[in-house]
Amino acid sequence: MRSKEHIHIVGESSLVLEYGILCLSKKQQVTIRANPGETVRPPKGTKKATAPPKSTTAALELTNISADIKKKNLVQLDRILAASVPIISSSTTVTVAEQSTWIKNPRRL
């Protein structure tokens, strides 16, 4: 039996909540972190985490309002996660091309 994927979600609280619930509905393990100054009540089955756990198999960065916070989140994810772990990032306000210049492993974005 294949083990569950572990998704780490960081960003704006409303999006973190929405995508957390979606990932849970697909039987994924989920950890979440809202952006600084925001709070999110973890849905049942998720855990809050200040940093992505080593078991993370994919990360979502869901910040659309502040490019500075988005950059900090992406840099942290890139620094902590293994280079093979993909980072899926929203690109509503900042293009993926620009976001890729912020991290050391741009191919994972």
52 vs 47: CA distance, rounded Å: 11
Mean pLDDT of the residues in the chain: 93
pLDDT at res. 1: 40
CB contact set of 52 (below 8 Å; sequence gap of 6+)? 8, 10, 31, 59, 77, 80, 81
Q: At 3, is the pLDDT very low, low, confident or very high (cuts 50, 70, 90)? A: low
Residue 24 · residue 30 · CB < 8 Å: yes
Q: What angle do CA 46, 57, 20 make, to 5 degrees?
A: 30
Residue 97 · residue 46 · CB < 8 Å: no
Q: What are the tens digits of pLDDT across the range 66-108?
A: 999 999 999 999 999 999 999 999 988 899 999 999 999 999 9
